[in-house]
Amino acid sequence: MSVTVIVGLQWGDEGKGKITDYLAERSEVVVRYQGGNNAGHTVVKNGIWYKLHLIPSGVLYPDKICVIGNGVVIYPRALLEEIEELKEKGVKIDQENLKISDRAHIVFPYHLIEDELEEEGKGVEEIGTTKRGIGPCYKDKSERIGIRMCDLVREDVLREKLKKNIEKKNKVFKNIYGKESVDFDEIFKDYKEYGEKLKPYMMDTSLFLYEMAKKGKKILFEGAQGTLLDLDFGTYPYVTASHPVAGGASIGGGIGPTMIDEVVGVMKAYTTRVGQGPFPTELKDDIGNFLRERGYEYGTTTGRARRCGWLDLVMIKYAVRVSGVTTLALTKLDTLTGLSTIKICTKYKIGEEIVDNFPGSLEDLNHCEPIYEEMEGWNEDIRGARSFDDLPLNAQKYVRRLEELIGIEFGIISVGPSREETIMLRNF
């Protein structure tokens, strides 16, 4: 394992934070490559819960270097607050162990306003975004009016770009939405200060990662969100604005695709989704409520209740394919304890057709009927299991059946939120 990408195979919140923290012990560098503080990654160490939004989940090891890559969009206020909160909990963060790309784009207050207004404007068709300004920031990036970290520390550049952007945004706020203008002076002053505070962390992280890889250092890329939220491969338009798939690590980290040795796909033993959009195996019944309560399925970033449903292998197999997953990590197996029957979706029925490839069209997704295979559940508490043989027979059968259906083996099985609550099935 020299360069490994960790990618979510569902709609986010698969437990990427826990798996990244776990594998970070065996790595030297941990990199976030896309998304922003829409992400919420939970890591539990010695009974203390850490909720990470922009800082990579390797930060709890003082000797690991954390990198925020060029593909990430940074809301400096949130980042500085996160740094302070972590420092208060005794976590080491300084320019030695945190590096931020000089090419990463910056989220401004007007992006948050745009996110809010665009969602309001969509009415019943709202995406259900995290309202963190992520989509509008990426929109400015592709419109080529974005402001990057390297601009933040050049007063004249920042002034000029920000002035132009604010003039443009204010026209839209006033003429289209009839809303108040945002104030240039206040934002300029705040962002100049943010630039001064963040300058020590800034560098060409692509070059840094290249040099680390050349020295044989182990690098872990931590995806945010999940494959089904990817701008190209997700349930468009109910997606985020970046590329969580493994290929995103190449662009968002600035490393050539040939440098990636391994892709770990993280999947929950069932499915969840926050926000709107299709969800073929969603359960709006007691079992859905059981999964939500037992799995504590409430958003790490927004606190919203997550929609819950059975595991969908049509989706998983698709996600495994588009990211070239080499090993799987199964999380939250413990949440299924107590269910007499466990269902696995293996195919969809769309009209008269049976399909096993994830459809692109929203219309197909909205009309597809999942076809299930049923397995017997177990009642034993499995949070103490530390080897595969510690699992009850029915849990073992469930895992083996998943491997058979997906065609890839599990390298890790997680049976609880803490580091120790993990079963390792191979070396990394």
Burial 68-84 (b: 16+ CB within 10 A, else e): bbbbbbbbbebbeebbe
Assess 56 for contact with ligand GDP (CB under 6 A): no
Nearest CB to ligand GDP, comparing residues 22 and 173: 22
Residue 209 near residue 66, CB atoms below 8 Å: no
As separate numbers, helices (DSSP H) first and strands (DSSP E) second, the chain gives 13, 20
Q: Measured between alpha carbons, how far is 11 from 113 in angstroms, rounded to an integer?
A: 25
Candidate residues 4, 7, 18, 83; the one interacting with ligand GDP per rule CB under 6 A: 18
Q: Is 414 in the site for ligand GDP (CB under 6 A)?
A: yes
DSSP secondary structure of 85-145: HHHHTT---STTTEEEETT-EE--HHHHHHHHHHHHHHGGG-----SSSHHHHHHHHHHT-
| From 13, 21, 140, 312, active-site residue | 13
Contact between 416 and ligand GDP (CB under 6 A)? yes
- Per-position x/- string for 40-59, each x denoting binding to Mg ion as judged by CB under 5 A, each - no binding: x-------------------
Q: How many CB atoms lie within 10 A of CB 154?
A: 12
Distance CA 152, CA 196 (A): 8
What is the x/- site pattern for Mg ion, positions 269-308, by CB under 5 A?
-------------------------------x--------
Residues in a beta bridge with 30 = 66, 220
Cβ 309 to ligand GDP shortest distance, Å: 16
When asked if residue 8 is in the footprint of ligand GDP (CB under 6 A), the reply is yes
The bridge status of strand 353-355 relative to strand 369-376 is: unpaired
Least CB distance to ligand IMO at residue 106 (A)? 16
**Which residue(s) pair with 424 in the sheet?**
412
∠211-67-198 over CA atoms, to 5°? 115
Interface region with ligand GDP, contact rule CB under 6 A, candidates 5-13, 129-137, 278-286, 393-401: 5-13
Instruction: State the minimum distance, in angstroms, from the CB of residue 207 to Mg ion.
Output: 30
Which residues contact ligand IMO by CB under 6 A?
8, 11-13, 38-41, 127-130, 132, 134-135, 224-226, 229, 240-241, 274-275, 300
Work out whether the CA dihedral 293, 297, 299, 304 comes out positive or negative: negative
Query: Which listed residue (4, 6, 11, 12) binds ligand GDP by CB under 6 A?
Result: 12
Looking at the Cβ atoms of 40 and 223, the one nearer to Mg ion is 40
16 binds ligand GDP (CB under 6 A): yes
Spatial separation of the C-alpha atoms in residues 340 and 348, rounded to whole Å: 24
- Let me know if 41 is a catalytic residue: yes
Q: Which residues of 209-244 are buried (b: 16+ CB within 10 A; e: fewer)?
A: bbebbeeeebbbbbbbbbbbbbbebbbeebbbbbbb
Residue 375 C-beta: closest distance to ligand IMO, Å: 27
Show the binding pattern over residues 313-352: x = contacts ligand GDP (CB under 6 A), - = does not: ------------------xx-xx-----------------
Confirm whether 190 is a catalytic residue.
no
Rule CB under 5 A: is residue 13 a binding residue for Mg ion? yes
Residues acting as catalytic residues? 13, 41
Residues near Mg ion, by CB under 5 A: 13, 40, 300
